[in-house]
Amino acid sequence: MSNITGEEIEKLLKKAWSDFFKYYESEVRECSKNMSKAETFKEHWIIWNEADLMVQLALNFKEQLAKNPPSVEIEMHFDKNLTATKPSNFDGYSFEDKLIPLRKELRRKQGPKVDLIIAKKNDTGPFLLCAEAKFFHYDVGRYRRTPQKDIQKDINTLVAIKDSGIAERVVFMLFDDYYCHRDQEKYKEIMSILAEAEEHKLTILKHP
Domain range summary for the chain, segments of one domain joined by +: 6-207
- By three-state DSSP, how is residue 55 classified? helix
Tens-digit pLDDT profile for residues 155-201:
999 999 999 999 999 999 999 999 999 999 999 999 999 999 998 88
Amino acid at the residue 152 = Q
Q: Is the CB of residue 132 less than 8 Å from the CB of residue 114?
A: yes
Tens-digit pLDDT profile for residues 70-88:
989 999 999 999 987 777 7
Strand order through the sheet with 203-207: 74-81, 113-120, 127-136, 167-176, 203-207
pLDDT tier at 2 (50, 70, 90 boundaries)? low
What does the alpha-carbon distance between residue 53 and residue 74 come to, in Å, rounded to a whole number? 20
Indicate the pTM of the whole model.
0.94
Tens-digit pLDDT profile for residues 185-197:
999 999 999 999 9
